[in-house]
Amino acid sequence: MTFVTLVSWVGSVLLVAGLVFGGPAHAGNQKEEAMADGVRLAMANAIRDSRPPKPVLRDEAARARYQAWFNEMSSRLAKRLPDERSRTEFLEVAWYESTRAGLDPGLVLGLIQVESAYRKYAISIAGARGYMQVMPFWTKVIGDSDRRKLFHMQTNLRYGCSILRMYIDMEKGNLYLALGRYNGSRGKPQYPNAVLSAWKKWEFKPAV
């Protein structure tokens, strides 16, 4: 095999890998944090919760608000996730895991846009995986050590939302610093500003 042929072959392999796995994502490198035992246990319990990701809506007004949100987000997301069934499942899970963690769903959708551009199998240079670019070490810290599950949609979003919630609590509600921690770039403006800007695009303002 000549050098030119070898270079061409390697390039083809890398291209195929990029198509299969979605290419490198623009994620940073989450750091393993020192956590109190209580925090670690609470996060581990949250990850293990096996209830189905179906919206729990207490009254007709809540159901109407959710349906309006769903219809609007489905329309916005159609180009990124063209399959209606997959898009419906994704939005149900995103809403469920976001609200379960006390997060605005628009913030989570904006973070996913920045982290993975909605690519389920995205892998960053640092090794972060999936929609919310979760670092594999988290599966050992608060999970069952099966890093393959980070490519499972609900598992990935559950880890991501739980981790972001922890960072917000650690930073006493300072979202700017919490986003920096999530990306492994605390104190630097590029990532938090990107997510906050994307959040505006996914923010839902119900009609009055």
Query: What residues does each domain of the chain span?
Result: 24-202
pLDDT tens column, 94-119 = 999 999 999 999 999 999 999 999 99
Q: Does domain 24-202 have CATH number 1.10.530?
A: yes
What is the pTM (predicted TM-score) of this model?
0.83
pLDDT tens column, 168-192 = 999 999 999 999 999 998 989 999 9
Rounded distance, CA 78 to CA 97, Å?
Answer: 20
